Structure 1
Amino acid sequence: MKNTHNEELYIRQDNLSDKLFDKSSIFFDIETTGFSPASSFTYMIGCAYRKDKNICIDQFFAETPAEESLILKEFIKLLKNYNTIISFNGIGFDIPFLKARFSKYDIDEDFSSYNFIDIFKSITPLKPLLKLENYKQKTLEKFLQINRDDTYSGGDLINIYSEYIKNPDPGSLSCLMLHNYEDVLGMTELLPILSYLKLADKKYTIVDSRLSDYKTYDGKNEEEFFITLANDYVVPKPVSIRDDSFCLSISKEKTVIRTKVINDSLKYFYTDYKNYYYLPKEDMAIHKSVATYVDRDHKEKCKASNCYIKKEGKFIIQHENIMQPLFKNDIKDKYSFFQLTSDFCSSDEMLLRYADHVIRHFIHIK
């Protein structure tokens, strides 16, 4: 049995959905009688595709187990009109399950020829940022305030379908169809969540950078450095995250990076310490070519830990050595600092490099 629905296309005020959900893309979701394709089968496949300003949703439903091969063939026939498949955990479950069932009926398929977008797999780097209790489809829908009428899980429906086979009734059928329908339609509305990932792809421009004063809880005057970015892709909901080094605040159209400014004297360590001498009184290292003129009682051969010179100024932290020269308090420090200069503050190239560093600190894309 095939059901077709037409819905008005609703792009959730973002340009990414319109880009990803075009005429070459198709969403799909399957309903099965279990997790193993060896002992269970597919009883429904729902698909969503775009026609002008409408979303068309086709549902292929097996009235009996014997009709599974029919809905598989109908699905393959529809799939041939598209080149990008969008799913929710399709790579982890739906595709492997279908491949096994296609093999059972000797139905030819060539999933390798398609591009894939798996929403569930794609958002893995966003987990530290979103901080949700889990990343099931309904949880993401709730986060994005997407409403649905269906209250069942796929597991709940296995018994309902089993009873439907024995005693077909409109109420059970409506329940089965609604769940799959809202799963597929819901996927089309989840696409905006991928816009957060675009920040890790450097899809933004520099708007502003500045120093700002603030008072700590104990009344001390401190400074923060701000970088404001304009997002190329509108995000669906403001989120923020911070740790001891950085604060990242993402609003719909802008992203703000904040980091504490260290106004202090830090050390620049020479790497070739065997070519240097340390002067204890001056607390600094000098090259051996210069140390020749220093009395031996006022100098000692450098170790890695004391082969440095000191620099006073304003510094900000970096977790990777993206800016040079780099400074530390101690050579064993995990992270380094670089000087906050006017050249850095006025250079879009350097600001973008630092912004990318901070964003990738929180959005862990490999």
Structure 2
Amino acid sequence: MMENLGDRRLNMEALRQRLRQVGAPVRSTPPPSVRQSPAPVDGSLKESLGGEEIEGCHVITASYEAAHHHAGIPLQSLWQSQGQALAWLTSDPSLNHFDFRETLFIDTETNGLAGGAGTYAFLIGVAYWAEGSFHVQQFFMRHPREEAVVLARLSPLLERFSSFVSFNGKSFDLSVLEARYILTRQPRALKKRPHLDLLHPARRLWKLRLPSCSLGSLEQRILGASRDQSDVPGYLIPQLYNTFLRDGNAAPLQGVFYHNHQDLLALAALAVYMVRLCTDPERHTPPHGQDHVALGRLYDDNQQWEQAERCYRRALTMPLPQSLRSDCLCRLSLLLKRAARWEEATSLWRSLLDTGVLYPYIELAKYHEHQSRDLAAAERAVLAALDLSLTHEEALALTHRLERIRQKQQRQVANPPC
């Protein structure tokens, strides 16, 4: 049985008394102070990165007017109420009343991507609305011993805002921060708050077309924005910081701060674009069939059948890989089947009979067996399907269907309708 907290404290005090009796040093370990002295860093830090020291933490701040555009999207578009669209896009009802003016955009740069107790965030970038402007703040940890200070300086913003916007923050950024707050004895429950993580809906929308759904790739390929030569690839960032810890030269970190800053602006612009895409797809969806299929799937999953049908039909007017075209036709036919629009559905199934795909044969067999009651046509569909390249399980299922159809035919012969 576990000891209760009071017994544990008594045992610890008894242990301290025993150590004193034998002359061993006894040292208590209070929570780390947030008034640690600055790390000894080269004086070029402020010259290279800008910013200022605030209560022992190096902070860089920038502000944008509401009319500022990033990737052609005005930041003030975030003022519009978008909760319902976001809840639909992410299948997360907790976002139904989401307000970008009351959220904290967050992006971290860490000393590695492995996770675990050894991973910490040396640069924490946040963005938020205040007094009609969009503010970007970057909290920089000049040395690992400053971690408690940096986290303490960030805490007021975490208390002020009740939700987050990130890119893979649910799996990574907030997990790292929550762990570091615990390790510095300042525990905070961050992952329980409403959180719009744009990575997952981005993959649903664009993975059919883009080889990469990283934030930088989406900024360039979807938003049409390019970064200048100051940017550095994400995989180099831990190495650049570790080099800084050794030599104190902050100049190579300029690209890291630029990268983090641009990520925060890209988060804001991408969030607006995603909402526009879902609320007015005909106006904002680019002329790529894959994007229309992906959006149709989203509507389909949310039982918005009319919008899904429009997306599928638009996609079929555009170039598509053959496998994706077949998938789109399949999904469209099932929508028509659900609406009992049999003539349109059977027409689509017949158009797919020569593609080597199994499902149109099965759907035609079902239709003739249960709707048109044409058992001979149902039998022909199953026999044709058995000539395809099938798995053992598929062949067994078709054989069972064929036996049932033939049994019905025999009963019809034995008991003809009057």
Tell me if both proteins adopt one fold, taking TM over 0.5 as the criterion: yes
Q: 1:137 to 1:325 in 2, by over 3 A?
A: closer
Match of 2:338 in 1: 322
SS at match of 1:80: helix
| Map of 2:79 onto structure 1 | 18
In the alignment, what sits opposite 1:185? 265
| Residue number in structure 1 paired with 2:42 | none
Residue 287 of structure 2 aligns with which residue? 239
Distance 2:241 2:75 in 1: 37
SS at match of 2:187: coil
- Structure with higher helix content: 2
**Aligned-partner residue type, residue 164 of structure 1:** F
Q: With structure 1 as the length reference, what TM-score do the two structures score? A: 0.57
Which residue among 90, 105, 114 is the counterpart of 1:27?
A: 105
Structure 2 residue identity aligned to 1:89: N
How far apart, in 2, do the equivalents of 1:191 and 1:197 lie? Answer: 10
Matched, 1:134 2:150: no
Q: Does the 8 Å CA contact 1:44/1:71 hold for their aligned counterparts?
A: no
Alignment partner of 1:148 out of 203, 223, 227: 227
SS of equivalent residue, structure 2 residue 60? strand
Q: CA RMSD in A?
A: 3.5
**Per the alignment, do residues 13 and 29 of structure 1 end up closer, same or farther by CA in structure 2, a change over 3 Å counting?**
closer
Instruction: For 2:210 and 2:294, locate their aligned partners in 1 and report how far apart those are by CA, in whole Å.
Output: 21
Name the CA shift for 1:148/1:323 in 2 (closer, same or farther; >3 Å): same
Q: CA deviation at 1:176?
A: 2.9
Which letter does structure 1 place at the counterpart of 2:239? N
The amino acid across from 1:323 in the alignment is A
Is the CA contact 2:78–2:101 (under 8 Å) kept in the aligned structure 1?
no
5 Å-filtered alignment, 1:87-236, equals 87-127=166-206, 131-143=209-221, 144-149=223-228, 150-195=230-275, 198=278, 203=279, 231=280, 235=284
1:5 aligns with 2:62: yes
Q: Answer yes or no: is the 8 Å Cα contact 1:8–1:55 preserved in 2.
A: yes
Out of 313, 320, 329, the position equivalent to 1:258 is: 313
Q: Structure 2: any 5+ residue segments left out of the alignment? A: 1-57, 83-98, 297-309, 317-330, 351-359, 368-418
1:161–1:104: structure 2 CA closer, same or farther, 3 Å change rule? same
Equivalent-residue separation in structure 2 for 1:234 and 1:14 (angstroms)? 20
- CA apart distance, 1:128: 5.1
Judging changes above 3 Å, is the alpha-carbon distance between structure 1 residues 241 and 13 closer, same or farther for their aligned structure 2 residues? farther
Change (3 A) 1:127 1:147: closer
Cα deviation, residue 234, structure 1: 5.8
> Could you tell me how far apart the structure 1 residues matched to 2:232 and 2:294 are?
41
Tell me how far 1:40 sits from its aligned partner: 2.7
